[in-house]
Amino acid sequence: MILEPTTLKRIVRSVLSTCPDEIGCDECFEQLDRFVELKLAGKNAAEAMPLVQDHLDRCPDCREEFEALLAVLRYMT
């Protein structure tokens, strides 16, 4: 299998930027509702839950979930 240069760069960047205490997608998803609640309350969610923020910064799929949940809840309030 041959990888495209952009894909290879993304993989290498991801590997090099991992932290020993980072969380995965499952754990991020489990904590996402609390993170969104903090955001909606005007609190600093990134400071309160730095591992979730770090994961959202690194994972486009979880970031998309976060943004969708936040948009829906903002619309409903």
pLDDT at 60 over 80: yes
In a domain, 2, yes or no: no
Token pair of 39 as six digits: 């955001």
In a domain, 1, yes or no: no
pLDDT band at 77 (very low <50, low <70, confident <90, very high): confident
* pLDDT tens digits, 4-29: 888 777 777 766 655 668 899 999 99
- 21 closest CA partner among 62, 66, 51, 47: 51
Quote the CA–CA distance of 22 and 40 in Å, as a whole number: 24
In a domain, 58, yes or no: yes
Give the pLDDT of residue 7: 77
CB 45 within 8 A of CB 38: yes
What domain range is 69 assigned to? 21-76
Average predicted confidence (pLDDT) for the chain: 89
pLDDT band at 46 (very low <50, low <70, confident <90, very high): very high
